[in-house]
Amino acid sequence: MPIQGPLRELGIHDVFQLLDLSRKTGRLRVSSALRDNEGTVLFRDGRVVSATIRSNPHPLGAVLLRAGRITEQELAQARDAQQASETPRRLGEVLVDLGIMSLRDLERFIRRQIETVIFELLSWQEGFFSFVETPIDTAGIEGLTSIPTECLLMEGARRLDEWTQIQQRVPHLGVVPVLAETGQAQPAPVLELLPNEWEVLAIIDGERDVRTLAATLGRSEFDVAKIVFGLLTTGVISLVVTPEAPPASAEDWAAALAEAREALVANRLDEALSAAESAVAAAPGSAEARTVLARVLFRSGREAEGEEELRLALEADALHPDAHMESARVAARRGQLAKAIRHWQQVVAACPDTPAAEQARHATVHASRLAAMLEAVDA
């Protein structure tokens, strides 16, 4: 039976700690509808052996190229050897066998990839997690790195403290770095930067914000924000600070909600999800917007996240008829007739003279009859 739940009730830090202490082996999935992102972490005996995230799917070859650890020719040589092999082989294994890099270097880069994903996931405060206990197939895992979860959590806590310091100068990831102006009478300062700092500085154009710079480089948002903080402190750059998320008007919220409903009817699920998330982002306390997002998630097969959105909808408005109607549908599909009837009764109580209430009354009658029949059969 999977271990699952919303991150609002059990934080991601606690989830990792639970899997560590119980020495679990299996697959953890962490998803966020609002971020439109999902991460997967593989555990063996409570230790992390692999971690990937949808927003940063850079394979090992691309990471090694960007770091200057291998050349295009060496990567092509390793790819050819990999394809020529009679048995499936991992790229890292081939690179080591060809003498292009040492096993120690390979493990170091793989560990860095895993840490980047884990530290990103540890910053999530909303979303849903699901852990399934299952044997781990190492065929698709680069290297055999095994990292103690406790070490990752300690480093994650340290980074959180560092984030607090960074945010004193870089308030959010939506700020835009620009090159600082120097007076004509003042000579340009001599810069002594590390290669990764030059990499960030080279693509600062006064248009891309910190989040976009990180995505362009395939680097973690934390690493880029830290470099921006350093460049800002030394006076090399300045920031254009704007509100990270300007408040949406009521018209924008209504338009996003209408777009989500229309796309859902037409079964354009990607469009529906994007529009519903925009509506929720504009009005997080709207039970109506969260109910529409829940419908999209259920239609997309993301039931656990849909349930979480329904819970938040009813938390925002305990009497919202649409949220109760959707909750009743979910319960009825699962054969939880008593639970469905309770939600339909709430619909009738909330809006007794509406078509929704009439539909709820009919559904209650039929569900009650079915429940009675099932009880008779069991007897």
Contacts 24+ apart (CB under 8 A), 243-250: 243/174, 244/171, 244/172, 244/173, 244/174, 245/174, 245/281, 247/282, 248/278, 248/281, 248/282, 248/283
Give the C-alpha separation, 291 to 328, whole Å: 12
Any idea how long the chain is?
379
Mean pLDDT, to the nearest integer, of 46-51? Answer: 91
Strongest mean pLDDT among 158-167, 202-211, 275-284: 202-211
Give the pLDDT band (50/70/90) at residue 47: very high
Give the pLDDT band (50/70/90) at residue 143: low
pLDDT at 48: 93
Higher pLDDT, 209 or 61: 209
pLDDT at 244 over 60: no
Give the pLDDT band (50/70/90) at residue 373: confident
Topology of domain 250-378, per CATH? 1.25.40
Over the chain, what is the mean pLDDT?
A: 82
Higher pLDDT, 172 or 68: 172
Mean pLDDT, to the nearest integer, of 261-272? Answer: 88
For the stretch 148-177, pLDDT in tens is: 999 999 988 888 788 888 888 888 878 899
pLDDT at 229: 92
pLDDT at 247 over 50: no
Task: Say how many C-beta atoms besides its own lie within 10 A of residue 8's C-beta.
Answer: 14
Of 211, 28, 225, the C-alpha closest to 118 is 28
pLDDT at 340 over 60: yes
Topology of domain 167-240, per CATH? Arc Repressor Mutant, subunit A (1.10.10)
Task: Say how many C-beta atoms besides its own lie within 10 A of residue 359's C-beta.
Answer: 15
Higher pLDDT, 85 or 324: 324
pLDDT at 188 over 70: no
pLDDT at 379: 57
Helix (H) or strand (E) holding 357: helix 355-378
Give the C-alpha separation, 20 to 40, whole Å: 16
Strands 237-240 and 147-148, how do they pair?
Answer: unpaired
pLDDT at 175: 87
119: phi then psi, degrees, rounded to nearest 5: -65, -30
What share of the chain in percent tops pLDDT 90?
12
Mean pLDDT, to the nearest integer, of 44-55? Answer: 87
Mean pLDDT, to the nearest integer, of 317-326? Answer: 87
pLDDT at 375: 73
DSSP percent split of the chain into helix, strand, coil, nearest 5: 55, 10, 30
Mean pLDDT, to the nearest integer, of 212-226? Answer: 80
The residues spanned by each domain of the chain are: 3-157, 167-240, 250-378
Residue 223 amino acid letter: D
For the stretch 17-46, pLDDT in tens is: 999 999 999 999 998 876 667 889 999 999
> What tokens were used for 196?
């990764």
pLDDT at 150: 92
CA of 6: how far to CAs of 18, 33, 127, 370, in Å? Answer: 15, 12, 6, 32
Q: Worst-scoring range by mean pLDDT, 91-95, 240-244, 245-249?
A: 245-249
pLDDT at 349: 83
pLDDT at 63 over 80: no
pLDDT at 119 over 90: no
